[in-house]
Structure 1
Amino acid sequence: MPYADVVIVGAGAAGLSLAYRLCAPGARVPLSVLLIDAPPGPLRPQPRTWCFWEPPGGEFDAALTASWQRLRVRAADGAATVTVPAPLRYKMLRSDAFTGLVDQRLDASAGFRRAELTVLAVRDAAGGGGEVVGRDAGGRRTVVTGRYVFDSRPPGRPPAARTTLLQHFTGWFVRTERPVFEPDTADLMDFRTPQPHHGLSFAYVLPLDARSALVEYTEFSRTPLEPAAYARALHHHLDTVLGASPYRVSATEHGVIPMTDGRFPPRAGRSVFRIGTAGGATRPSTGYTFSAVQRQSRSLAAALRAGGEPGTRSPYRARSLAMDAVMLRALDTGRVDGAAFFTGLFRSVPPARLLRFLDGSAPLREEVLVGLRTPVGPMLRTVAELPFRARRSPPAAPRSTLPHPPDEE
């Protein structure tokens, strides 16, 4: 029965980030690490994109696809708010480049191993520690044990919550025949999209050069769309709003991210822990995940490499999650207009402060200052209502009808 000090299930952002930090040189207590990935096929994550903000000189900068010092938000009438959130930059990291960078460290680590299994169960082992039960490529049942097991697989059902929305999106990597995009400016939210009856929508444009970009259509709502609806929205934005025709689509991404005030407990057993979205790393009000995954993996690795026990703290402060619960409920009830809400924040809040707030890393004073820029009346009404709302279990997360699994932004 294969054994390791630490067993990690899943080789997405969360699993790779934890393995990367556990295998850094200089640990006080050397650890053996086993990373379990799904065999090639539908269970293995497809190439995807993660975006986040931080100052230049980050540990993954060598693998970045692009970064931008200027951000733009467009209101429904086209009015633009352009910000320069110095010292922060908005960064795009593709999963294949991230994997390549991480693999350089993992392959050089004597205590690191990989395995391919179709995982059937992750649980505490009867004799102590945790175990992963799966089938190998030949269909044989295999059990892997470890002192600790960290499971990064996304939850099949969102937790009980007062509000549950989904951030669902489709993005196209496009190449135009003439210059269309501004390479130094990322369009973070462009609300010149048909707004759904419930929730909000926006386009997202990340230029790679004057003729290439990732163009994405995103909705915050209760259910995903059919594939054809995303295609119509993207064609409308590229053809009618941006005037980018003709263009060629070279790659497609699709994602469904839970936006919920439900609780994602990081502990799943005595020796089993959840990481990534399953461990609460997705910001409920924005869907951003990658930066919180890095905070989570740093904390866990530091404790384990020092010979301690894994912590179970959320990557987000309790007050940040409380503010998210209010925002989600206000948006879900229609008390706030989503497009006006986000446009107003970008117009009235200093950009670096707002990005720290959206990332969940702002200090208390900055969170209060941002909160004062929101629609106070609807927010206070929502604050008064929330304690009386019961948490209910939503239906199982819908299975994507497109060939790509959820992305973590």
Structure 2
Amino acid sequence: MSSVPVDVDLALVGGGGAASLVLAALARHGVRDLRIAVVDPVRRRGQDRTWAFWDEPGNDLDELLTASWTQVEVVTPGTHRTLDLAPLRYAMLRSGPIYDRAAEAERRLGVRRIVADAEALHDDGDRVVVRTGDGPLRAAWVLDSRPRPPRRPGRTNWLQHFRGWWLAADRPVFDPERAVLMDFRTPQPARGVSFGYVLPVDSRYALVEYTEFGPDLLTSPGYDAALHGYRDLLGLDPARLTVTEVENGVIPMTDGPFVARPSPRVVRLGTAGGATRPSTGFTFTAMHRQAEQVAREVAAGRDPVPVPAYPPRHRWMDAVALRALDRDLVGGPEFFGRLFDRNPAPRVLRFLDGGTTRAEDLAVMRSTRMLPMVIAGVADAAGRLRDRIAPGRRPPWSVPPAVVAPPDADAPPR
């Protein structure tokens, strides 16, 4: 171990999806003569996760996509909706191409790779010392995408947890022209929301997944039983299917605040930086947006600090929605069904990405049942007051770090 710090301009602590997107964006924006280091005990490569998101075609991700769809289905008991997303698309991206692009960007940018844990960060306001198992690193700025809890516990603390099977069929059984975004015909848990979805790559290959929103995880046999049930609900013959891969994940859904700027020269990205949408668990679009903003700022000679991932009013709306769902004031299938029934699909998707206007937000609010939301809103206001009076409350839930999806990874496919 060396006791003499290595000096860099920018250190990325954590080398997963968020760091990979930042590296690719820096190279794409023509950043040169910047000393960069990546600190991570693992060099990421291959297909270790899947992201799904919506955007408009014609950007840097086009050539990396595994599949995309302009139509999706939202299914509730008794109602089957086929939604046209134009001008948006729903897209699926596996991690391998992102990691490959980041590796090429590393070579072009001359990045120093430190394969070790970052044991501590010390920010004196002028430089940040990163203590690693390979010795100290000193950086002008640190972008930290490691898992972090919120600054304080949320008033509602749920988890999005899921298991998905990559299924190969011996004959055409999937519709490659449309994805199933949410299928609420799955048995609903006593507390929470469940749904399945299908992301077809072609007529014989698809990711089929079971997801729950709620406070409690299932056992491994529980996830498998739920997936068996959803497969049967879709009418798929298990004798004609092969499970080629299995994906699992857990993502926090909480109105607890994540601190994006814990010290003057440390910036957090991904879930730890507020990129996960509390009401749905979607993260990738905000994570990609953060990377683009960081790269543009660096290329212009400014500080690498992205703007908040979502407007404060959207975080408030998410807190109210989570409370209404958690207290069983509204049912999940009804809540999401009304959103898509009473709004154009692109408006709902742009809202979930934090891209709607205030007028559009009011339209989204009007599409929900007002009395439960008013009750949840009043209770949320009372909770905020209690938080100010007693800010040191401990979280009522605890998730082992090993099972929480890394904050720079929108685990499959949310």
TM-score normalized with structure 2 length: 0.90
Q: Distance in 1 between matches of 2:199 and 2:151?
A: 30
Structure 1 residue 178, shift from structure 2 partner = 2.6
AA partner of residue 334 (structure 2): A
Which residue of structure 2 lines up, in the alignment, with residue 138 of structure 1? Answer: none
Give the corresponding residue for 1:211. Answer: 204
CA gap of 1:252–1:396, structure 2 versus 1, over 3 A, is: same
Query: Conserved in 1, the CA contact under 8 Å of 2:121 and 2:128?
Result: yes
Return the offset for 1:45.
Answer: 9.8
1:133 corresponds in structure 2 to: 131
Q: Hey, what's the Cα distance between the residues in 2 that align with 1:343 and 1:158?
A: 33
1:68 & 1:87 partners in 2: Cα distance?
Answer: 11
Is it true that 1:270 corresponds to 2:258 in the alignment?
A: no
Tell me the amino acid that sits aligned with residue 98 of structure 2: F
Q: Which runs of 5+ in 1 are unaligned?
A: 136-140
Q: Is the 8 A contact 1:158 1:393 kept in 2?
A: no
In the alignment, which of 326, 337, 341 is matched to residue 332 of structure 1? 326
Pick one of 13, 16, 19 that aligns with 1:15.
19
CA distance in 2, matches of 1:272, 1:401: 25
d(CA) in 1 for partners of 2:402, 2:156 = 21
- Asked if residue 32 in structure 1 is aligned to residue 35 in structure 2, the reply is yes
Given that residues 22 and 31 in structure 1 are in contact (C-alpha distance below 8 angstroms), is that contact kept between their aligned partners in structure 2?
A: no
Distance in 1 of aligned mates of 2:401 and 2:217: 9
- Following TM superposition, by how much is the alpha carbon of 1:343 offset from its aligned partner in structure 2, in angstroms? 1.4
Q: Does 1:123 align with 2:119?
A: no
Following superposition, the deviation at residue 130 of structure 1 comes to 0.9
Query: CA shift at 1:307, angstroms?
Result: 2.1
CA distance in 1, matches of 2:193, 2:129: 42
- CA deviations 1:126-168 (Å, max 9, x no partner) are 5831122222xxxxx4111100111101115673211111111
Cα distance, 1:75 vs structure 2: 0.6
Compute the displacement of 1:401 (Å). Answer: 6.2
SS at match of 1:8: strand
Task: Verify: 1:151 aligned to 2:144, yes or no.
Answer: yes
Q: Distance in 2 between matches of 1:12 and 1:194?
A: 34
The residue type equivalent to 1:369 in the other structure is: A
Match for residue 200 of structure 1 among 188, 193, 205: 193
Aligned to 1:253, the other structure's residue is in SS state: strand
The answer to which of 308-317 and 327-336 deviates more is 308-317
Report how far residue 311 of structure 1 moved: 3.2
Partners of 1:48 and 1:37 in 2: how far apart? Answer: 17
Q: Which residue of 2 aligns with 1:109?
A: 109
Alignment gaps of 5+ in structure 2: 388-392
2:382 counterpart of 1:388: yes
Counterpart Cα distance in 2 of 1:67 and 1:248 = 23
Counterpart for residue 51 of structure 1? 52
Question: Quick one: which amino acid aligns to residue 85 of structure 1?
Answer: L
Using the TM superposition, name which of 302-311 and 182-191 deviates more: 302-311
Q: Which amino acid counterpart does residue 134 of structure 1 have in structure 2?
A: T
From 150, 159, 175, the counterpart of 2:168: 175
Distance 1:6 1:45, change over 3 A: farther
**Matched-pair contact (CA < 8 Å) for 1:171–1:253:** yes
2:186 and 2:80 map into 1 onto residues whose CA distance is 14
Contact 2:149 2:258 in 1 (8 A): no
Number of residue pairs the alignment of both structures matches:
397
Aligned partner (choices 287, 309, 322) of residue 315 of structure 1: 309
Q: CA deviation at 1:31?
A: 2.0
> How many Å apart are 1:175 and its aligned residue?
0.9
Name the CA shift for 1:158/1:227 in 2 (closer, same or farther; >3 Å). farther
Task: Report the residue type matching 1:261 in the other structure.
Answer: D
When residues 72 and 16 of structure 1 are mapped into structure 2, their CA distance, relative to the original with a 3 A threshold, is same
Q: Report Cα offsets for 1:332-384 as digits up to 9, x if no partner.
A: 10001011111121122111111101111112221111111011111111111
Which stretch shifts more, 291-300 or 247-256? 291-300
Provide the C-alpha distance between the structure 1 equivalents of 2:125 and 2:278, rounded to a whole number of angstroms. Answer: 37
2:294 matches 1:300: yes
Q: Matched residues in 2 for 1:260 and 1:165: separation?
A: 6
Aligned-pair CA distance for 1:385: 1.6
Task: Report Cα offsets for 1:106-125 as digits up to 9, x if no partner.
Answer: 32224x2222112222332x
Contact 1:186–1:206 (8 Å) recurs in 2: yes
Q: Is the 8 A contact 1:190 1:202 kept in 2?
A: yes
Structure 2: how far apart are the matches of 1:344 and 1:328?
A: 16
Please say if 1:65 is aligned against 2:66: yes
Is the Cα–Cα contact under 8 Å of residues 48 and 94 in structure 1 kept in the other structure? yes
Change beyond 3 A, Cα 1:215–1:330: same
Structure 2 counterpart SS, 1:172? strand
Query: For residue 90 of structure 2, what is the aligned residue in structure 1?
Result: 90
1:397 counterpart (396, 399, 411): 399
For residues 256 and 214 of structure 1, the distance between their equivalents in structure 2, rounded to whole angstroms, comes to 17
> Are residues 46 and 65 of structure 1, via their aligned partners in 2, closer, same or farther at CA, if it must alter by over 3 Å?
closer
AA aligned opposite 2:127: G
- Higher mean C-alpha deviation, range 354-363 or range 325-334: 354-363
**TM-score normalised by length of structure 1:** 0.91
Give the whole-Å Cα distance in 2 for the aligned partners of 1:178 and 1:84. Answer: 27
Secondary structure at 2:308 match in 1 = coil
- The CA deviation at 1:405 is 6.2
